[in-house]
Chain A
């Protein structure tokens, strides 16, 4: 009895180790390829380990595309959406959780209704709105529409309601206004939830392909994932190395961020799931 459970434990461990390897194999292949010479990359037999580290692909990438600029664009857009979105969501969630006003319940339900619709369904009319605001082909087209994060407002409101009201009552008696209460009571008390929401938003915006593909068509204004697609398209398969290099630059932060922020990320994704 004991022996069999020990064997099954080993089998389970080996199964998971292999499953993990299989999941990461495609990523590993791309990362290793990016350090190979063009001859090795196009060899009919896959070469896993580059003979000597070649940075030719990375040089090619930054020659065929303003990839440095594209990364900066990605950073700017992501930072603006994460910070701006968090501020807007915290303010709205506080109003919904703590203040009483006419139409609160109705308004909240109207907000929630947006959760049942996939945002991309509104691609056509949103494009029209962005066009008429003269935002097409600007970074702002990626920032402003992304600042309304209904799910974040919902999650934060739920979280704020778990904070005892005595705390903000006490602050109010001391003469604090709403903004001070938010800054000194609500935000510190719910920082784990807020930061989880920020990490999830950041990951989604950094990786987004759909909206940049719709709104941006000037290479120098593109975010990194779109710029890479553009390199692939423009090269007609000729810039294999450059694309591998770009994929590596895009993938590595994901792995690193996951390892560093594993707990926070899991909590964030879990939050989004559980409280739906």
Chain B
């Protein structure tokens, strides 16, 4: 007790005050984070439509996973989304951030920055509605101009078995690239100019400078951007809900949409809890792998 007071100054050891200050956050945490997390485990063992009382079914919901072809397709969709969106995010986000940092004209810089970030600030609902008109087969401006450009029979993007998934990727990247862009932009601003000057004096070309300075010093930003893009792909929900209803068939059904439908359209809360837990397990294990990898290649030293 005295140890604390002596080291950290006067009157810091006031447990009552601390708990009082923490109590609103703590109560909300318990109600809306802790209880739901425990609840989801409990719900996974019952059959429940939220109207009649739940009844215990043991591992039945877990066994259903093995006989659920929809879940397999949903997971593979989610992984496809993940690979596509994460890689596009890193390449495009970094490329745009480097270009905006390098460009001399202030007007162009302001214009590009505003244009790239604006979609990220829009409501997901608005984005989805907007693209459903733009990609529409009849009267949609996208296909009108594609035909003008010489593509005679462009697909009905959001209703095509082949094209709906890439179309959702386009919508997702358009709407969220702004975040990755800002992360890289801030990361680039933190790299001191002197490093580049020194490298230029030593005769390093543009590619060498990128490889030896930009890329390693940017690795914390790259890590955050890829982790965020990765988690983001697991949260894709609104575009398939509004633009494709997860279809055609289940071609664009994501895991979150599947959970939502099981629970709120089919009233199978127990089974949807199992799918939620699978989702958590996948995410946590991937993030663990990423964190381990990050320790190996992310440079955290400050320059």
Contact = CB atoms under 8 A, between A and B. Distances in A.
Nearest to A274: B186
Interface string B125-156: 11011110110001101001100000000000
Interface stretch (B55-63, B192-200, B234-242): B234-242
Contact of A259 (B114, B144, B187): B114
A125 interface: yes
A98 interface: yes
Interface string B16-49: 0111011011101101110111011001000000
Contacts, number: 283
A269 B183 contact: yes
A111 B29 contact: yes
Given A16-B112, A124-B43, A124-B269, A100 B12 contact: yes
Contacts of B157: none
B83 interface: no
Contact of A91 (B21, B33, B256): B21
B28 A258 contact: no
Interface stretch (A19-27, A49-57, A58-66, A190-198): A19-27
A140 interface: no
A23 B21 contact: no
Interface string A1-38: 00000000100110111011101101101100000000
Contacts of B39: 125, 128-129
A176 to B, nearest CB: 10
B221 interface: yes
A163 interface: no
Q: Is the interface of A mostly helix, strand, loop or mixed?
A: helix
Interface string B174-217: 10000100110111000000000000000000000000000000
Interface string A196-214: 0000000100111110011
Nearest to B28: A148
Interface residues of B, number: 97
A12 B126 contact: no
A99 interface: yes
A190 B247 CA distance: 48
User: Which of A88, A121, A209 has the most chain B CB within a 10 Å cutoff?
Assistant: A121
Interface stretch (B64-72, B74-82, B258-266): B258-266
A146 to B, nearest CB: 9
A210 B124 contact: yes
A276 to B, nearest CB: 5
Given A121-B280, A126-B32, A178 B121 contact: no
Interface in A238-263: 240, 243-244, 247, 250-251, 254-255, 257-259, 262
A123 B21 contact: no
Contacts of B138: 44
A255 B50 CA distance: 42
Contact of B235 (A92, A95, A120, A273): A120
A67 to B, nearest CB: 13
A13 B102 CA distance: 9
9 contacts: A9-B104, A19-B112, A23-B119, A30-B133, A91-B22, A125-B36, A148-B28, A209-B128, A229-B129
Given A43-B139, A95-B17, A123-B276, 11 more contacts: A19-B115, A27-B130, A91-B24, A100-B18, A144-B32, A209-B238, A210-B238, A228-B126, A254-B118, A265-B117, A269-B186
Interface of A: 9, 12-13, 15-17, 19-21, 23-24, 26-27, 29-30, 42-46, 88-89, 91-92, 94-96, 98-102, 104, 107, 111, 114, 116-118, 120-129, 131, 133, 144-145, 147-148, 150, 153, 165, 169, 172-173, 178, 203, 206-210, 213-214, 224-226, 228-229, 232, 240, 243-244, 247, 250-251, 254-255, 257-259, 262, 265-266, 269-270, 273-274, 276
Interface of B: 4, 8-15, 17-19, 21-22, 24-26, 28-29, 31-33, 35-37, 39-40, 43, 50, 96, 99-100, 102-105, 108-109, 111-119, 121-126, 128-131, 133-134, 138-139, 141, 144-145, 174, 179, 182-183, 185-187, 220-221, 224-225, 227-228, 231, 234-235, 237-238, 242, 256, 259-260, 263-264, 269, 272-273, 276, 279-280, 283-284, 287
